[in-house]
Amino acid sequence: MTNADFLSSPFPEPIELPDIDTDGPGRFFNRELSWLSFNWRVLEEAENPRVPLLERLRFLSISAGNLDEFYTVRVAGLRELAIAGNTTPAADGLTPAEQLVLINENARNLLMAQQRVLVALHDAMEVHEISVLRRNELTDEDVAFLEDVFLSQVFAVLSPLAIDPAHPFPFIPNTGYALALQMERTSDKRSLQALLPIPAQIDRFIALPGPGHRFLPLEELLILNIPSLFPGYQLKAHFEFRVLRDSDLEVEEEAEDLVREFEVALKRRKRGEVVRLTHSAGAPETLKAVIMGELGVSEAEVVEVDGMIGLSDLSELVLDDRPDLLWPPFKPRVPERVTDFDGDMLAAIRQKDMLLHHPYETFDMVVRFLQQAARDPKVVAIKQTLYRTSKKSPIVEALCEAAEDGKSVTALVELKARFDEAANIRQSRRLERAGAHVVYGFLDLKTHAKISTVVRREGKTLVTYTHYGTGNYHPITARIYTDVSLFTCDAKLGRDATKVFNYLSGYAPPEGLDNLAISPTTLKPRLLEMIAAEADHARAGEPAVIWAKMNSIIDDEVIDALYAAGQAGVKISLVVRGICGLRPGIKGFSDNIRVKSIVGRFLEHSRIVCFGNGYDLPSKKARVFISSADWMGRNLNRRVETLIEIENATVKAQIVSQVMAANLADVAQSWVMAPDGTFTRPDVPEGTFAFNCHRFFMENPSLSGRGSAGASDVPKLTHTED
């Protein structure tokens, strides 16, 4: 596909895949390999000439950090299953051991590719006077400067350690790295093996004085100063190594105190088993064998890297003072309607429903909604879910302020939000001290729904203002994650939200929901029902279309339902950022299904699904939903999630004709999925206009947020060129 419009172009020609058993496990693509494919796409953005240089470096750092987390969670789990002898196959038919072989091969290739990209980026950075030096490239002036840096900023934090029976092997934490040293005493040539853990409290790259931007990696500074750390010894050989540990959490089913149980589990995580050891080239075999033995890793879990280890630290080199090498500045908009009401969020919502598209419309409006509620004397109650939020969260501040002012505040804090458990424990204790009611939901279900309610006394009635989101209440990540926020004072949506909160605090499953479907009870059945209804339209000879956007789709029942709908004649277009277990475009099987992934300046995160309902899309008759849930087993069966039907005509038009249409029309940031799980970029000739949905959203305000100053029509799918 060249610079064609994905929205209106015909479906790609289906491909025959005789080796794929479409009646068996072969109809699914492996989850883990699909995730690795996504991370390859992230890495390839680091090579994209359309991306500014330091943003390309950021993509390389993200790719490395993603791979670290993948190993500490997903691979760690598969490793446990394989060690236990578990041979239960995944949906695609691969056992844990078989998956590990394919994952390790793919990941090794990815690590090598990251090093190749790093070399190319370093060369490009040199042209712009940004250099990462080795110790043999330092001038005498540099060495003198670094002597002072070492003594004043580094030396006191170091703990050089001998490796011998008198010195127990030190604990290297997850993502921790160290220097392994082979030393020789100058007086009698006696050998010494030693470790120098590299402290995480010090920046990885040390800025050097001089023209341009010059940096020295911390490990290079440490090697320079080995004589002062080990006086009387000569360094014969060394290598750097880095460990990744099992970071999944296990919590006892009958934990009496969930907070205390998670605090104990977090300590266990720090000491999890090592699942991968990466080391620099040139490691002496005897010293390497000692390290491997002490860490308990096999050869299959060890990767030699010819280059720099720990590439996630490269984010330190994304320099704010080089705006010429970064994305052009972008300031999120305040919706016109909110401005028309002098910043009064509740008044803007009272006028009509409003859907904000973050980060293009500022997430500050969500914060303002809660801050205004906290200070409004007519507000009597606030309820809020918190899955992930920032350390100094203005949302938590607003909830505390409201509670201290005597309002009834209920906060559902999810302790099981991976890698945010400790932060959420701190936030929950703070809320409790302020007088809020803090609940933790279910032990066996994560609460992933994004809901806020504000109850305000207006005359003789109580009016509920509700916010439903697709993303976390996290002001920092909301600057780069694309999500949608629905603000409404519709009484039905308010009652539904209240019933969900009662479910979370009292465990009683909600009955009689007017609009909402929730997992793990009604959300998946609602999806399957809607997919089947669209297939019925196709069989009746009516237009039948499904547009959906999500992070991941892996649930086998949903995938099979989509296959069946496609075979009935439903035209299905999926925008899936990450994992996709569905195989599109197989001749005679999934001809009517196409899948694309968008990877660009912003991280696609919103979950949307549109059903033509017997009409072509876009259509006023469409049924349109936003959700907190991806189409994965964990979201549909093991979490509390929401699926909200959009009934307001303006919001519906915004989602279908603006948000989804632009995503489907995107060419510049898109990758199209083939039946074998590979993704390819559309072929865009040099100098040809390529529609970029992120650019379009930055230039065009959301339809439902427009006020008296805005037009009422949906903007055309175009934007200015670079």
Active-site annotation, residues: 448
Q: What is the largest CA-CA distance in the chain?
A: 93
- 323 preceded by a cis bond (ω within 30 of 0): no
Look up residue 252 and give its amino acid: E
CA separation (Å) from 590 to 22, 215, 593, 608? 10, 52, 6, 21
Q: Are strands 593-598 and 571-576 parallel, antiparallel or unpaired?
A: parallel
DSSP notation for 363-387: THHHHHHHHHHHH-TTEEEEEEEES
Look up residue 143 and give its amino acid: V
Burial of 414-437, coded b for 16+ CB within 10 Å and e otherwise, reads bbbbeebbebbbebbebbbebebe
**Rounded Cα–Cα distance for residues 479 and 4 (Å):** 30
Burial of 449-474, coded b for 16+ CB within 10 Å and e otherwise, reads bbbbbbbbeeeeeebbbbbbbbbbbb
Give me the phi and psi of 430, to 5 degrees please: -65, -45
- The closest alpha carbon to 305, from 282, 288, 275, belongs to 282
Token representation of residue 477: 């990540």
Q: Are strands 545-550 and 571-576 parallel, antiparallel or unpaired?
A: parallel
Give me the phi and psi of 592, to 5 degrees please: -95, 10
**Rounded Cα–Cα distance for residues 212 and 521 (Å):** 59
Token representation of residue 489: 């004072």
Give me the phi and psi of 125, to 5 degrees please: -65, -35
CA R_g for the chain:
27
- 314: exposed, middle or buried (Cβ count in 10 Å: 0-12, 13-18, 19+): buried
Give the chain's length. Answer: 722
**Rounded Cα–Cα distance for residues 96 and 84 (Å):** 10
**Rounded Cα–Cα distance for residues 92 and 338 (Å):** 49
Contact 519, 504 (CB under 8 A): no
- The closest alpha carbon to 714, from 3, 7, 4, belongs to 7
DSSP notation for 513-559: -SSEEEETTTHHHHHHHHHHHHHHHHHTTS--EEEEEES-B--HHHH
Q: Is 456 helix (H, G, I), strand (E, B) or coil?
A: strand
CA separation (Å) from 355 to 352, 358, 714? 10, 10, 14
Q: What share of the chain is helix, strand, coil (3-state, %, to 5)?
A: 40, 25, 40
Give me the phi and psi of 266, to 5 degrees please: -65, -35
Q: Hey, which bits of 176-301 come out as E strands?
A: 177-185, 191-198, 205-208, 213-217, 233-245, 274-280
Q: Hey, which bits of 199-273 come out as E strands?
A: 205-208, 213-217, 233-245
How many CB atoms neighbour CB 173 within 10 A? 14
